[in-house]
Amino acid sequence: MAIHPDTDIKSNSNSNNNRSSNSRVNPERELLDIDDLHELYRPIKPQIEARLSDFRRIWEKASDVELFRELAFCLLTPQSKAKTCWKAVQRLERKCLMGKVEPSLVSEELVGVRFNQRKAEYICLARSRFDAASLRETLASFSSPAAAREWLVDNIKGLGYKEASHFLRNIGLGENLAILDRHILKNLALLGVIDEVPSSPTKRLYLDIEKKMTAFSRQAEIPMGHLDLLLWYKEAGEVFK
């Protein structure tokens, strides 16, 4: 059964902020409410919709090479800045290092990316994983984005629930999946959706927070994909990826 994009559209303070890491916050320091979110949301909603449309077009039109580029990006992002990781992916492409190459050649191009040697190995392992069946064919075989995420977490070394959700969203398949990085978790705490920011969520806790975020998005009448980019915009000052 083919996977279907997970959409639900009713409708720079520091542009190098990452989509990773962990932190704890005191919710009393800066309380937010739904009205605050909508005040921030209204002027940037067109940007968010345009970005999500870009993501959907990736699944509709992208080659397997282009899909793998997005996977490589998400393998790099833990504890590293998103824009630094994207520049590293672009360097790998320019130098034709996204195919079957030695991890040492990949790691040399991961300038500014933390744990570059380990992540270079992850990229090379992921590349070899799709020798028999393409990345697109593999993803298309699942009945839902959640099922695809489970497979990615179980089979692609270096991908946790956050990174797998991030990858699926970025290729237009996971708008209703939560990308629980430190920025999102911090703001969920400020909004009272969760009591505190966990340092390292287990699978059970991750899925529980995802359910709470989904319920909140319905209450706030801001779709999940919009809410993620909105909260990231609040921290980073731009709509990126």
Domain shared by 53 and 150, yes or no? no
Examine residue 87 and state whether it is found in any structural domain, yes or no: yes
- Give the pLDDT confidence score for residue 162 in this predicted structure: 97
Whether residue 76 sits in one domain with residue 150: yes
Per-residue confidence (pLDDT) for residue 200, from 0 to 100:
87
- Asked whether residue 75 falls in the same domain as residue 148, the answer is yes
Average pLDDT over residues 133-139: 94
Please indicate whether residue 6 is annotated as part of the active site.
no
Co-location of 98 and 114 in the same domain: yes
How far, in Å, CA of 51 to CA of 134, rounded? 26
Binned at pLDDT 50, 70 and 90, residue 3 comes out as: low
Same domain, 66 and 52: no
228: CATH = 1.10.1670.10
Instruction: Answer whether residue 82 shows pLDDT above 80.
Output: yes
- The per-residue pLDDT for 27 is 39
Q: In this model, does residue 228 exceed pLDDT 80?
A: yes
6, 83, 119, 181: which one is catalytic? 181
Residue 198 and residue 112 share a domain? no
pLDDT at 99: 85
* Residue 13 forms part of a structural domain: no
Query: Nearest 5°: CA angle at 197, between 194 and 202?
Result: 90
Residues 157 and 112 in one domain: yes
CA gap 66, 104 in Å, rounded: 22
What's the predicted TM-score (pTM) here?
Answer: 0.86
| CB-based contact 12:44 (threshold 8 Å) | no
Q: Which residues contact 123 (CB under 8 A, 6 or more apart)?
A: 72, 75, 76, 92, 98, 103, 106
Say if residue 142 is in the same domain as residue 98: yes
Q: Given a cut of 50, is residue 43 above it in pLDDT? A: yes
Q: Looking at the structure, do residues 189 and 208 belong to the same domain, yes or no? A: yes
Confidence of residue 32 (pLDDT cuts 50, 70, 90): confident
Check pLDDT > 60 for residue 44.
yes
As a whole number of angstroms, the distance between CA 66 and CA 172 comes to 13
- Is pLDDT above 70 for 7? no
* Residue, of 241 and 48, whose pLDDT is higher: 48
Question: What is the mean pLDDT of the segment spanning 190-197?
Answer: 95
> Residue 101: is its pLDDT beyond 70?
yes
- Triad 166, 64, 210: Cα angle to 5°: 15
User: What total of structural domains would you count in the chain?
Assistant: 2
CATH assignment of the domain containing 161: 1.10.340.30
Active-site hit among 81, 119, 162, 241: 162
End-of-domain residue from the set 167, 194, 216: 167
209 within domain boundaries? yes
pLDDT at 5: 55
Task: Give 227's contacts (C-beta < 8 A, 6+ positions apart).
Answer: 37, 213, 216, 217, 220
Final residue belonging to a domain, choices 138, 167, 196: 167
Query: Is residue 12 domain-resident?
Result: no
Q: Which residues contact 78 (CB under 8 A, 6 or more apart)?
A: 20, 21, 114, 115, 158, 160, 162, 163
* 78 plus 53 within the same structural domain: no
Q: Which pLDDT score is estimated for 112?
A: 94
Question: What was the pLDDT predicted at 241?
Answer: 85
Task: Give catalytic status of residue 181 as yes or no.
Answer: yes
Q: Which domain holds residue 187?
A: 27-58+177-236
